[in-house]
Structure 1
Amino acid sequence: MSDKEQNKLDMYDAVLSLLSDNKEIVSNIPALVSSISRFRKVVDEIRREERTISSEAFEITIRTSKLKDDLIFSLVPVASGLFNFAKENGDLRLKEKCRITQSHFVRMLDRDLLEKAEILRSLAKDHLLKLKKYGINAQKLSEVQAKMTSFRNSLGNKVASFVSTDTMTPLQELFNEADRILSKYMDNYVESLNGSYAEFYDEYLWTRDIENQDAVKVMMELEEENESEE
């Protein structure tokens, strides 16, 4: 959920809380009571959808992390074997290319890790016949290739789970429905109470504007930070 959506959801909660605290006033308009019920159901659906999205994103992150670990564990013996081969044969250039430990792999960015994995796999393939005594064979390189592919594919899934598309998501549709109920029905019904319950109406308007107030607050805080840095 984006910050904008979270601010909007906070506003929804504040509106529902205000209306719940003023049931006696709200009950004067049965249509408003009905609209509130519909609105609350949509807000509950938004929360369920958000929990589902968060759970799926978490599972993808965990799966990607495991695949990254699997790739690293398969690369360590390849890098070590190449390093020892280069050291024993006095190949300083190859030695420097393979001077890398597990901790170095772990600290790499995902893209850099995949690039390094391909370099090591290619180097090992070029010297494959001479690397048998170092525990490197065609099967191990095939395993590295398979784990590279799995990790690369998982990164694609991870990005897809966080990047929005042109197609409206179920969550966006729910927010649109909540906004429609608010603006088309609830706002108008509450406005009709203005004459008899002016204070309640003013409080409702203030609550409806919470998401804009939060945006202004953030902008003011950023401006203050910039001024302090200057």
Structure 2
Amino acid sequence: MLNHQQNKFTMAKNAAAFLSENEAITSAIPELQNHHTALKAKCDEIEAKDTERITIRKGKYLNKVSEKSEAINKALGISGAVFAFARKAKNVELAERSLIFRSDLQNMRDTELAAKLRFIKELAEENLQSLEPYGITVQKMNGFTQKTIMFEKAIEDSGSSFAVRKGNLKTIRDLFTELNAILVSTDKLADSFLEEYPDFVNNYRIIRRIKKFGVRHRKVPVTQTIQSDATPDAQKSS
């Protein structure tokens, strides 16, 4: 949920809880109880949709992080073997091309890293026969190739999840529109108790005020408050 949605959601949950605590009063109007039930159901629906959005985002992200870490580990093993072979063969160009550091790979963008992994794979395949004494076998190369493919798929899945999350946000926005309609009708029904239970209505109205929870408000200096409260004539005379 967005910040303003979270504030409204918290208010709606508090309103539903208040109505639950005062069922002895609200039971006098069956339609108000129906609205109370609808309010709780809509809050549950919003919460479930938001949890789904967060789960998708977190799951795709963690999968990409995991695949990236494993791909980098394999890449360093392969490139390290190529570098060792190049140094022994006194192949300066190959040694320079295969001198790769973990920090460089970790700091790359996803697409850059994917390209670098393919580059390392090509270097190793060009010298595969010479790399066997360095522990690079066909099986190990196949494992690296598969891991590279899995990382690229994780990048793609992470990108596609953005569209899903965007769709979820639209759904949540629509649910809040429905929630607002329920709240407005509930307000009118609650007002029916104003004469008989004024405290109930007043407390309900207080809860219905949307607060920006967690926001720190700047204090206005006392001198500024006094000056703003002064009459125009008093301000002129001063």
Structure of greater Rg = 2
Question: Is the CA contact 2:79–2:98 (under 8 Å) kept in the aligned structure 1?
Answer: yes
One-letter code aligned to 2:18:
L
One-letter code aligned to 1:187:
D
1:214 matched residue in structure 2: 212
2:18 matched residue in structure 1: 18
Q: Superposed, which structure 2 residues align to 1:98-137 within 5 Å?
A: 98-101=98-101, 105=105, 110-136=110-136
Q: Superposed, which structure 2 residues align to 1:141-156 within 5 Å?
A: 141-156=141-156
Q: Superposed, which structure 2 residues align to 1:78-227 within 5 Å?
A: 78-101=78-101, 105=105, 110-136=110-136, 140-163=140-163, 164-165=165-166, 171-183=172-184, 185-210=185-210, 213-214=211-212, 218=215, 220=217
Give the superposition deviation at 1:84.
0.5
Given the superposition, is the C-alpha separation of residues 64 and 128 from structure 1 closer, same or farther in structure 2, using an over 3 Å criterion? same
TM-score for both structures, normalised by structure 1? 0.72
Structure 1 gap ranges (5+):
222-230
Give the superposition deviation at 1:106.
5.2
One-letter code aligned to 1:151:
F
1:40 matched residue in structure 2: 40
Given the superposition, is the C-alpha separation of residues 152 and 4 from structure 1 closer, same or farther in structure 2, using an over 3 Å criterion? farther
Give the superposition deviation at 1:51.
4.0
One-letter code aligned to 1:29:
I
CA displacement 1:144-183 (0-9 Å, x = unmatched)? 3332221122222234334543577654444333232112
CA RMSD of aligned residues (A): 3.4
Given the superposition, is the C-alpha separation of residues 206 and 161 from structure 1 closer, same or farther in structure 2, using an over 3 Å criterion? farther
Question: Is the CA contact 2:85–2:134 (under 8 Å) kept in the aligned structure 1?
Answer: yes
Question: Is the CA contact 2:81–2:131 (under 8 Å) kept in the aligned structure 1?
Answer: yes
Given the superposition, is the C-alpha separation of residues 143 and 206 from structure 1 closer, same or farther in structure 2, using an over 3 Å criterion? same
1:227 matched residue in structure 2: none
Distance 2:29 2:133 in 1: 85
Distance 2:181 2:158 in 1: 32
Distance 2:18 2:193 in 1: 14
Quote the sequence identity (%): 25
Query: Secondary structure of the residue that 1:131 maps to in structure 2?
Result: helix
2:74 matched residue in structure 1: 74
CA displacement 1:18-38 (0-9 Å, x = unmatched)? 222333442343211111012
Distance 2:168 2:52 in 1: 18
Distance 1:206 1:111 in 2: 52
Distance 1:77 1:91 in 2: 19
Q: How many residues align?
A: 217
Distance 1:161 1:4 in 2: 23
Given the superposition, is the C-alpha separation of residues 205 and 94 from structure 1 closer, same or farther in structure 2, using an over 3 Å criterion? farther
Distance 1:208 1:161 in 2: 35
Distance 1:157 1:203 in 2: 48
TM-score for both structures, normalised by structure 2? 0.70
Question: Is the CA contact 2:53–2:168 (under 8 Å) kept in the aligned structure 1?
Answer: no
